[in-house]
Copies of this chain bind each other. A is one copy, B any other.
Amino acid sequence: MLSGEYEHTLDEKNRLTLPARFRPRFAEGLVLTRGMDNSLSIFSKEEFSRAIEARLAKLDQLSREGRLMHRFYFSGAVEAVPDKQGRVMVPQALLQSAEIEREVIVVGVFDHLEVWDRTAWRGYMKQVEENVEDAAERLAAQHD
């Protein structure tokens, strides 16, 4: 299970140092993709297949939205292997699409990591905290 929040900074070569606790998990390689809500996502190869490829496979590429989702995820996907110091290069295009500056937050979200611009993350979490109790209430009401 991936979890936690870690402040990191990109170096001037746009390299991201993975938090030390996550390195074993991604030592063999990882997939870096665009994510939702102006974030980037990091999956292991297996998790990417499971969480993204399998999910997208259910979407018909003949549909407008199916094509959209396929292009969104695959055009931005980069396979990479962290170097000996646990760093990965983040392509400029991904940084731009997530509006990420130098200061980022790396977040563990169960099956993947997310990379956020630090101020964007703070703003998002603020919203989340305002809404989470209502969301939880709705979940409780479903009781299935």
Contact = CB atoms under 8 A, between A and B. Distances in A.
A76 B31 CA distance: 24
Contacts of A67: 36-37
B72 A128 contact: yes
Interface string A4-44: 11000000000000000000000000010000110000000
A36 B68 CA distance: 11
Interface residues of A, number: 49
A132 B4 contact: no
Interface of A: 1-5, 31, 36-37, 51, 53, 55-56, 58-59, 61-62, 65, 67-72, 74-79, 91, 93, 97, 107-110, 114, 124-125, 128-129, 131-133, 135-136, 138-139, 144
